[in-house]
Amino acid sequence: MGDGKKLSSLDASFLYLETPEMPMHVGSMAIFRLPDDYQGDFFEAFKAMIASRLHLAPILKARLEKAPLDIDHPSWVEDDQFDIDRHIFRASLPEPRDRATLERIVGWMHAKLLNRARPLWEFYVFEGMKDNEVGLYSKMHHACIDGGAGAALTNMIYDMTPVPRQVDPPAARAKAEQEPRDIAANLLDAYTQLWNQPLDPAIAKGIELPRSGKSDLGSILFDNAMYQIESAVRFAGSIPAMLRSVTDVVGKISDPAARESIASMASPPTILNKSISSERSFAGASISLSRAKALAKLAGGKLNDVVLALASGVVRRYLLQHGALPKKSMTAAVPISLREEGNTETNNQVFGMICAIATNIEDPRERLTAIIAQSTKSKEMAHPLRAFMPQVSNISMLGAPILVQILALLYSRSSLSDVLPPTANITVSNVPGPRQTLYAAGAELLHIFPVSISTHGIALNITVQSYRDQLDFGFIAGANIIPHVQVLCDMLPEEFELLEQAFAPERQSAAG
């Protein structure tokens, strides 16, 4: 990454929105089991294995380089002082050295900001757990990775057999000598970026005017003019596609049924939708993937609908216990991956929708049926906007880093999320993972619980990753809102059983 790859607007936004109370990194709590006859030092073996494979994921050796005066998005550049001992640590776990203790420590550690002077990731290895288990807490800034890229990174680092595979060393390459550039040249680059928004790659293909290839001021001005001409052609060519998307949205909104659907997606205020502190509460739980898929098939929905129903069930039960369940259905912010199959780029390729999760319905069967209908409507409403996202994610605006960071800090300090209507009540994300068993340095991977992001106004995040024949749920919340999120995890198995019973074939036969 020595060429200085500039962050997209979407990737950079996770940097600008970050505050001490709202870190913007994602991670996981993985649980491994060592063989009974394991000999050696797992921490050192794991660190050596990662060190030998860093070239498979160049983002792991890339640090941020700010634009002059912070007028434009930063770039990823190779860290010439990279030291793996600043990224992989041997951590200690106090008695009783069980998963519950590990979860509490992970919640505490996930609230700590990453050091932006170094590549934005850290691994912590917890040895000496019960049943020959080893815990691995990892975190990486959301500016360089999303859930889909994280799953791809997992496949790059881990092995499918207990014996680590041999990885070819990186090819030798000459270090590029970069010509020093002054502030004026960088300012012009930022100005060029503003006018050179790649709105439609299909339109842009084949449009390339000549460049001087020089770095003097006159040549830079000439190149900038060429960029602006190309940008105008690209923009004009993309207008029909943009108008079609807008027309689709307007057409859906003009439909009375669609307007009713939009109204149903308005989020009621709840005790979960407040400003969060700089502390986190984390816990994990697992259910059977094959059983969840079978339930989705019986209900006529998708796996994601079952995940939403389970989230709805536990949140509904929790708020009932606190006498705080709203009469109106709560909503979930649901990320949608735009990543094409086989795409392993470590960047953010994600969109999102708001879906009502039927917390106002007591019967589990009726609740899941309502969620299936609501998620279908939400996908239909969101679909026309998907085409905008790759374009919007690359838009630059001069001064955006400073402006957005100031606004994020003001929002955080003003506690506006305590009084503004919530955009959604909770976040629920479902990330597909590997079905085969994975290993690291000879240890078998048992679970990989996601550890995601809590935000002001949406304190609870429930992220799920599939692995083998299980769904690993990671619950994280602002500790001032839900001090012990483990209580929600404890509700998950029973909620799953209630849903299965509600759609059991014998019950359907009896009802028929």
What distance in Å separates the CA atoms of residue 120 and residue 267, rounded to the nearest whole number? Answer: 34
Indicate the DSSP class of residue 455: B
Return all residues near 303 (Cβ < 8 A) that are at least 6 apart: 292, 293, 296, 430
> Which SS3 state, helix, strand or coil, does residue 61 take?
helix
What is the distance between the alpha carbons of residues 300 and 416, in angstroms, rounded to a whole number? Answer: 40
Q: Please check whether residue 150 is in contact with residue 140, taking contact to mean a CB–CB distance below 8 angstroms.
A: yes
Q: Which amino acid is present at 483?
A: P
Contact by Cβ (8 Å): 137, 104: no
Alpha-carbon distance 501 to 487, whole Å? 22
Report d(CA 270, CA 208) in Å as an integer.
53
447 is catalytic: no
Torsion of CA 3, 9, 11, 16, to 10 degrees: 110
Separation of alpha carbons 75 and 87, rounded Å = 20
Q: Per residue in 338-354, is it b (16+ CB within 10 Å) or e — as a string?
A: bbeeeeeebbbbbbbbb
According to DSSP, the β-strands at 121-126 and 133-141 are antiparallel
Token pair listed for 357: 């999760």
Q: Which of 73, 87, 141, 142 is catalytic?
A: 142
Name, in order, each residue with C-beta under 8 angstroms of 275's C-beta and a sequence gap of 6 or more: 21, 412, 415, 417, 418, 456, 457
Secondary structure class of 18 (helix, strand, coil): coil
Please identify every residue annotated as catalytic: 142
